[in-house]
């Protein structure tokens, strides 16, 4: 009989992965922290934002409940000769959609961009602030064009669109501040274009 799984061979790889997991996490944390530092954030703030984004990605804050009415699949039980069978049937009922804000995916990027806007205003970097606003506007338009509401999932957008657009805008408008343009356009463009502008489609 042909075997597809060899436990003695996979077990060492599993142990190796567990041993390397802390190292991979440290490398990932270092990369994200350096990325935050390139935005002009001090090291303690960058490190704090990394943990806020990581832990906050597991936290969703409900802000609205949307009710609708439509066909709902329910289950009933039918007994036959002492045996109970589950039988699905379609009924008309109320459906609820909970709209939530993810802390790591919304609040943290929003706080970083807001900090950058205030920093540029203090430094009187009007030209850079204008380019950042242009990048966010373009990214918003693209995100709106490619995002779609998906039943049971929410607002979806092809995963390669935001980073690709952010990279292109950083090259075209970033100059010496490419990390800032990439981060601002990549985060705010999706939040505004994909999420806020599709609110009425929920």
The pLDDT averaged over each successive group of 10 residues in the chain (202 residues) is 47 67 66 69 76 82 78 75 75 76 86 88 89 94 91 81 91 85 90 88 73
Compute CA distances 50 → 31, 107, 149, 174, 186, whole Å: 10, 13, 29, 23, 17
* Confidence (pLDDT) at 9: 46
Based on the fold, state whether residues 22 and 122 are members of the same structural domain: yes
CA distance 140 to 150: 19
Based on the fold, state whether residues 92 and 106 are members of the same structural domain: no
* Confidence (pLDDT) at 22: 73
Q: What does the pLDDT look like over 82-130, one tens digit per residue?
A: 677 777 877 776 777 778 888 888 888 898 889 889 888 988 888 989 9
* Confidence (pLDDT) at 6: 44
Instruction: Write down the residue that tokens 């530092």 correspond to.
Output: 37
Residue 38 lies in a domain: yes
Residue 23 lies in a domain: yes
Based on the fold, state whether residues 45 and 70 are members of the same structural domain: no
Residue 2 lies in a domain: no
């Amino acid at each position: 009989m042909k075997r597809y799984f060899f436990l003695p061979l996979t077990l060492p790889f599993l142990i190796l992965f567990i041993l390397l997991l802390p190292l991979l996490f440290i490398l990932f944390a270092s990369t994200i922290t350096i990325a935050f530092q390139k935005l002009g954030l001090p090291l303690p703030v960058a490190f704090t934002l990394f943990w806020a984004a990581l832990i906050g990605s597991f936290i969703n804050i409900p802000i609205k409940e949307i009710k609708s009415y439509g066909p709902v699949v329910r289950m009933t039980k039918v007994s036959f000769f002492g045996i109970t069978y589950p039988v699905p049937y379609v009924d008309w009922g109320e459906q609820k959609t909970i709209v939530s804000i993810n802390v790591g995916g919304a609040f943290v990027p929003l706080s970083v961009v807001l900090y950058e806007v205030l920093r540029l205003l203090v430094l009187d970097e009007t030209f850079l602030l204008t380019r950042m606003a242009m990048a966010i506007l373009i990214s918003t338009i693209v995100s709106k064009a490619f995002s779609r509401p998906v039943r049971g999932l929410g607002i979806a957008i092809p995963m390669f669109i935001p980073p690709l657009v952010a990279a292109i805008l950083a090259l075209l408008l970033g100059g010496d501040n490419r990390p800032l343009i990439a981060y601002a356009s990549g985060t705010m463009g999706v939040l505004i274009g994909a999420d806020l502008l599709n609110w009425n489609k929920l």
